[in-house]
Structure 1
Amino acid sequence: MSKSLQAIRGMNDILPEQTPLWRYFEGTVARLLDNYGYRQIRMPIVEFTELFKRSIGEVTDIVEKEMYTFEDRNGDSLTLRPEGTAACVRAVLEHGITGGGQVQKLWYIGPMFRHERPQKGRYRQFHQIGLEVFNLDGPDIDAELIVLTWRLWGELGIRDAVKLELNSLGTSESRGRYREALVEFLSAHLDKLDEDSQRRLKTNPLRVLDTKNADTQAILVDAPKMADYLDEESRLHFEGLKARLDAVGIPYVINPKLVRGLDYYSKTVFEWVTDKLGAQGTVCAGGRYDGLVEQMGGKPTSGVGFAMGIERLVLMLETLDKIPQEIARQVDVYLCAFGEAAELAALALSERVRDQLPNLRLQINAGGGSFKSQFKKADKSGALYALILGDDELAQQVVGFKPLRGQGEQQSIAWDALAAHLATCVVQG
C-alpha cells in the first residue's frame, strides 16, 4: 500500500480558516510601512550558497547546521534563503540602487527556510516581514525602526505583551577587543562550560552570551561587559538612540548578553520579546550592519534593519484573543436564488451591487438547492444577511432581505435601492 502524500515536516499548509488572520496581519503591516515611506522589494527564494557564507558567517549555526543547500543541474551550490538581509543587500548591490549615497528604505515579505527542530511557532519553512535601510548612519533611523514597531504593536493590541531589549555591539574593532577579553575569561572556566559553549568559544565566542544553559549563564554573571569596551562613536550612537526612545516614551531594558545570531551586526541590536509564547520569546529582532555591504563587495554603506516572524505574531494574536470580529466573518451577504430565471437575475443583480459597493463581501449561491439547503449554506457562510430571490420577488423586481445574526424581520427591498440599503446595514452590522 503506497504511503499517503503529506507535507514535509516543519513545512505547513496555511488553511482557509487561518488565512484571514494572516491577511489582516500582513495588510496592517503593509499599510503602516507605506505610511512611513518604505517601498517593497521582492527577492528570489533561492540564492547562491556563497552569499550566505559571506554575509551570515561560515561558523554560525545557520550556515553550519540549518541551511537547505543543494546542487542544481549546472553544478552550482544553491540555498533556500534562511534570512532576508543578505538577499536584499545582494539585490541593491546588483542593481546599483544604493550607489552615490542614495537612501533606500525597503521592506519585503516571504518564506525563509532553516532545518531546525520544529516546534510551535518555529518551523522549517517560516515567514518573515523584514525592513532594510541603507545610507543612513545616525541613531535617528535606528529609533524609527523601533518606533514603527511600537506603533504596530499598538494597532494590533499587543503592546502590553512585548518588551524591548537593547544592546550595542560597537564597531568591529571594539568588538574584537571585547572578544579577546571574553575568551580569556571563559577559558579560565572551560571545564564548567556546556559542550555547545565550548565549541562556540573557538568559533564564535560572542554567541556564548546567548546560551540557554543555566550553568553557563551563572558563569557569565561575572564575565566582562560589552559596554566597557565600546568605542566613543558607538557609545554616543547608543546614547542617541536611547534619548529618542525616551522622548517618545517607549520603555526598554538594556540586555548586555544580546548579540544576535548573525556575524554582520554592529552597534545597535534589539529584540522585541514576549513571555506569552513559551520558550519562543522573540517576535521581532534586528540591528545595524554597517560593514555588510562592503563585506559583500560594495562601497562602504551603512545599513540597519529588522525581521519579524509572522507565525509567532499570528500565534500571539490568537493566544491573546486579539482577532478583530470582522476577520472571522468572510461573507457579509449571501444571495439565495430559486429557479433558473431567478439565478440569471441574481447574477446580474449581484454584479450591479458589486459595482456600487466594491468592498462588500457578497457570495451568491452556486449549485442550486432547496430553500432549506440554501439557507443552511447562508448561515454556515457566516454572513450577516441573506438575500432571497424567487419567482415572486422576480415578478416584483424586489429581493427578500433577512438578518441572520440579530433581531429584525424579513423585508422586501427594490433592486434599485438594494446597494444603498446594504451599505447602511452592513456598516451598522
Structure 2
Amino acid sequence: MISDKPPRGVPGSRCRTGGGPCAGASAHAAMLLLVCLLAAAAPARSADCVIDNITPDLSWEATLFKDLKTKCAYTRNEAPSSENATVVTMHFILKNFFFDAGEESLSIYSWAFLDWLDPRLTWNPKDYGGIDRSKVFASAIWTPVLKLQNSKDAFEIPFMVNGCQVSNEGRVRCVMRVLNEIACTTKLSNWPYDTQTCRFEFSKRDALDSKFTFTFGNTRAVRMWGAEYGPGWIITDYKQVESHAKAEAQMYFELTLERQAAGLGALAVAPALALSALTLAVPLLAACGPSRAPLAVLSELGHFTVLQIVNFSIPQHSGDSPTILKYLQCSLLITTVSIIVTFVLNHLSKKSTSPPGWVTHVNTRALSWWPGRAVGLGATRDSVTEAVSKRHQSEWLDFANLCNCFFFIAIGITYCVLYFAYIPQPPPFF
C-alpha cells in the first residue's frame, strides 16, 4: 500500500507536484517585474512624445528680448544720449472722476500713455524672423519718471511704468493705470450753481535733468469719451498749458467742473424765493387785520427752517460763504422788521387820542395824491360820526394805512436789490 504523504525530512517536497503556493508566488513575482520594467521605460517613451508648442515667432521674440535686455543692461538708468533732449509725449484717457467738495479734493482714474524714441532699441527685423515690434518689461529699459507736483498726498509716489511696446525703429510706447488726487480749493459763492476749477501739475522727478522733457504734443492731453459725467458733477471746460521753466511745473491741465444742482436748487433757492413772497404779502393785508401777524410769524419760522436745511447741505470746509445764505439772512431781517411794523401799525390803527398836527397834514397831502386814494385812505370817513373820538381813530387808521403802503414799497425795492445781488443763477446752457 502506497502512502500519499511525502516522506519525512524532505522539506519542500510538495512544490515538485507543479501546483500549490509556489506557483502563485512565481506569478506575482513575474507581474511585479513586468510593472517595474514598464515604469522604467515610461519616461523615455514620454520624452519622445512631447509636443513642442514653441512657434518660430516666439522663439525669435525670445531671442530679441534677450538681445535687448543685454543691450540695455548698462544703460537702462540713463536717458538716451543725443544732441537734443529726448521728447516724451504724454496723454491721458479719463475713465472716471470723483470730486469731494467737503474735503476739497478731486480724484481722477485714467490711463496714461507715454511715447518717446530711444535709438538704442533698434534692430533689423530680418535678423529676427520679420518681427518689427515686441513687448518688454519697463524694468529692462530706460523709462521716464513722471511726478504729480500738487498731489494731495505728501508722500506721492512717482508714476512707475509696468509694460511697454518697442518697435524696430526705437519707438517706445508705454501705458499705465493711474489714480491721481489733488487738493482743489472750492469757491461756493454761487452755491448751489457753483463751478470749480482744478489743476493737475506734472513735472520730471528731477527738474534739473535736461536729457529729456515731457510734452502734451499737438493733441488734446486728456480724452474723456463720455467720462466727463461724474457723480453730482460734470466737466464743462478743459485747458492745458506747457511751461519748460525749471522752477515751475513743466505742464498742467485744468478741469472746470459744474455742479448738477437741480435738487439743491429746489431745496434752497426755491424755498428762499417763496418765503420772500410770503413776507412781501404781509403789507398787502390790512394794518389792523387779524391774519397779518400770524402770516408774518409763519414766514419767520420758515426762514429758520430753510436756513437750517441750507446750512446742513453746503460744504463746511470752504472759506467762501454762499450768497444764498446772505439773501436768507437779509430776508429774515426784513421779516423780523415786518413783525414789528405789524404790531406798531395795529397799535396806531386802534388809537382814539388826538393825533399830532403833522399826522393830519400827512393824511391830507396823501388824500390829495392819487396813490393815497388808490389805497383807500379816508374811505371810512363817510361812516364816521361827528364824535371826536371816532374822528381821531379814523385819522390814525389813515396814517397806519399810509405807513403800510410805504413799507410795502420799501421791502419790494429791497427784495429786488437782494435778488439781483445774492440769488445764485444757474450757468447758461450754451
Question: What TM-score do you get using the length of structure 1 for normalisation?
Answer: 0.24
**Max Rg structure:** 2
Question: What TM-score do you get using the length of structure 2 for normalisation?
Answer: 0.24
